[in-house]
Structure 1
Amino acid sequence: MRLISYFVLLLMGVVLTSNQRKPAENTIQRWIQSLTRESKKTMVDTDFSNILLDRRVPYVGYIGANYQKLSITFQRVHRTSANRYSVSGVTIVNNNRCNFRGTINIIDNRRFIHPTYGVDDAMKGRFRRRGCSVAKYKLMEDTRQKSSGVFSGYLLFYWYETVDGRIVYDDIDDYSDSFCNNQYAGSWRSNSTRKAKPCAWGQYRVPICGDLDIGAGEFSVNPKYAKYGWEK
C-alpha cells in the first residue's frame, strides 16, 4: 500500500531544494517514515536478491544540483548473510561509465497494517501480507576509472508474501500513477575532490527529486533540466 501520494513526494522534494538540493540524512529519514507510518515491524527470513536485481524497467535517476541524468544497472546481487548483500554493476553519467561494487544492508522490515488489494480487490486472499524493507547502501566506483566516487544512502523497497510463503516484488499497485519500487536516495562523493553531490534513483519514479519529475501518469522530465543528459 502506498501511504502518501506522489504529489506529496514532490512537495517534500521542494523542501529539499530550498536546502541546496542536498538530501540530508534527516530529510531522507522523514521521507521513509512518511511512507512507512501505517506499518509495524515484522520478521522476514528470505533472500531479497531477486527484488533487488529486478530489471522489469530500467532505473531512472539523477546526480547533482542540476539533476544530471544518472543511469545505473545492478548486474549482480548476492546475499552474504541474513541482512547483507554484495552487489556490483555499472553507472553512466554524461557518457562517463564506471564499474562499482558495494553492499546493501537491510536495517528494518515492516508489514503494512491496512494493505490494499489492487484493482477491484483482485488480490484479496492471494497474499498473506504486504510489506517493505529499509536498507543502507554503499556503492564504490572503481578508483582507477575517471570521475569515480562513492554512493551512499538509504533504500526503500516493497514486497508481498504469497499464500504459499514466497516473498516477491510488490507490483500490486502498478496501475497507480504514483507506483514505484526500489527507491534509492543519498549522495555521491568524488574520490578525487571529496566533494559530495545529492543523488537518487528508482524504478518508475525517483524519490526526493524536487521539480525534476513533472509527469502525472509516469515519470516525465521537467524541460528546464532536459539539457543535463535527459535529451538522449
Structure 2
Amino acid sequence: MELCHKILILCICVVSSFDIEAQNNALPKLYHNPLKVEKDALGALYYFIDHNALDLDIIDYSGVYETYLTPIDGLLYEDCTHKLIEGQLQLDSTFFDSYSYWEAQKFAAPANGVLGNDFKRIDVFFYSGASKIDPLSYEVSGRTKVKDYICDFTGEISIKKVYHVFERDIESPDYYTIIASYKLREDPSQKGSGIFRGIFGAYGYIDDESSDIIKVDNISDGDGYQNRNFVGIWQSNNNPSTLKRCMWGDNRLPFRFDFDIGDGEMVVNPKYFSSEWDCFMRNEDIEVEYQENGDSRAKYKNVWWVR
C-alpha cells in the first residue's frame, strides 16, 4: 500500500510538471517570452509576467497580454460571452468611465500610462456615457494628454471574451475577466495625434443587488493592484510609419520593463524622470480638502479634459 501511495504521488507530480511544460510550450513564441506558468497553493496553473524578460525592441505586447488574461485549463471557469450576447449579463454603465478613489470616495481622474521606449507619461480620460453599438461593442470618446499636447479621440471597444472564474477558497473569490480589442482615433487636425490599437483587459464582479451586471473590481484596490489596462500601440497620424508602444490603466501596468521599479506600488525609475512623472510621484495632481468633521475629499487639480 505504501508503495502504491508513493507511485501515485510520483504520477501526480509528473502529470503536473507536464501540464506546466505543455502550457509553457503553448505560449506565444518570442525571443524572450515574458509569460511563465506556475502553480498556486491549491494546484491551479496561472500565468505571471517575468518583467526581466521584456524586450524594448518588441513594440506590441497586446497578443501576449490577451494570452495572460485567458484562464488556463485547470481553473474552474466558464466562458460566458454568450450571456452578454443574449442579454443575461451586461457591463455596468460606468465600466469605462475615468475615475480614481480617495478614502472610498470616487472622483474624476484620468488613467496614467506610458508611451514609447522613453516611457513618456500619457494621461487618458474617457467621458462617461459609453454607448452600445451592439451587445459586445461600445462607442467611446475622451481626451489624451502627453506633455502639453491634448487630443480628442473617439473609438470602439469590442468585447472578445468574458470569463467567469469560480471561487476556490475564501481567499480566492470568484471574479470575471473581460477581454476586448480597442481602436481609438485622435483628431487628425490636432498636433501630435494618432491612432491607438490593442487589447483591453479588466476584472469585475457581480453582487447580490444586481446579479446580471458586471461591475469594475476595485474592491481589491491595494498593493500591486491593476485593472482596466489598455495594452497596444500608438500610430502617428502625421507619419504612419511611426509606431510606439502604449499602455495605460488603473494603478500599475502589466508590463513594467525597468520603468516601474516599485515593490508594493508604482515607483518610476529615476532614469525616466520628467516633470510630468515627478508631479505624479509627489502626488501633486490631486488636491485634498479636509473638512471640520475630519472627513476629506480629493479632486484633480488640472481638469484638462473639460471642453
Gaps (5+ residues) in structure 1?
Answer: none
User: Match of 1:231, SS?
Assistant: helix
Higher RCO, Cα 8 Å, sep 6+: 1
Matched residue, 2:64: 27
Matched residue, 1:67: 119
Matched residue, 2:249: 202
Q: Over residues 56-88 of structure 1, what are the superposed CA-to-partner deviations in whole Å (9 max), with x where a residue is unaligned?
A: 254120010111111111013222220111101
Decide whether aligned partners of structure 1 residues 4 and 104 sit closer, same or farther in structure 2, where only a CA change above 3 A counts: same
1:4 deviates by: 5.9
Q: Distance in 2 between matches of 1:78 and 1:117?
A: 36
User: Match of 1:136, SS?
Assistant: strand
User: Rg: which structure is higher?
Assistant: 2
Matched residue, 1:167: 214
* Superposed counterparts of 1:17-56, under 5 Å: 17=55, 19-33=56-70, 36-37=71-72, 38=75, 39-42=77-80, 43-44=83-84, 45-56=89-100
Q: Distance in 2 between matches of 1:211 and 1:85?
A: 34
Q: Over residues 156-215 of structure 1, what are the superposed CA-to-partner deviations in whole Å (9 max), with x where a residue is unaligned?
A: 11111112314222123224x222110110000001111110010110111223121112
* Superposed counterparts of 1:98-137, under 5 Å: 98-114=151-167, 117=170, 129-137=174-182
Q: Distance in 2 between matches of 1:145 and 1:190?
A: 11
The one-letter amino acid of 2:228's match is: N
Q: Does 1:15 align with 2:87?
A: no
Decide whether aligned partners of structure 1 residues 47 and 29 sit closer, same or farther in structure 2, where only a CA change above 3 A counts: closer
Q: Over residues 95-117 of structure 1, what are the superposed CA-to-partner deviations in whole Å (9 max), with x where a residue is unaligned?
A: 11100000000110001133565
Matched residue, 2:224: 178
Q: How many residues are matched? A: 214
Q: Distance in 2 between matches of 1:157 and 1:29?
A: 11
Q: Does 1:220 align with 2:267?
A: yes
The one-letter amino acid of 2:225's match is: F
Decide whether aligned partners of structure 1 residues 59 and 116 sit closer, same or farther in structure 2, where only a CA change above 3 A counts: farther
Matched residue, 1:138: 183
Q: Distance in 2 between matches of 1:224 and 1:4?
A: 32
Moved more, 192-201 or 40-49: 40-49
User: Match of 1:61, SS?
Assistant: strand
Decide whether aligned partners of structure 1 residues 218 and 4 sit closer, same or farther in structure 2, where only a CA change above 3 A counts: farther
The one-letter amino acid of 1:148's match is: S
Give the superposed CA RMSD: 2.3
Q: Distance in 2 between matches of 1:115 and 1:99?
A: 43
Q: Distance in 2 between matches of 1:181 and 1:70?
A: 17
Q: Is the 8 A contact 2:121 2:146 kept in 1?
A: yes
Q: Distance in 2 between matches of 1:168 and 1:213?
A: 28
Give the TM-score of the pair, scaled to structure 1. 0.82
1:22 deviates by: 1.2
Q: Is the 8 A contact 1:139 1:152 kept in 2?
A: yes
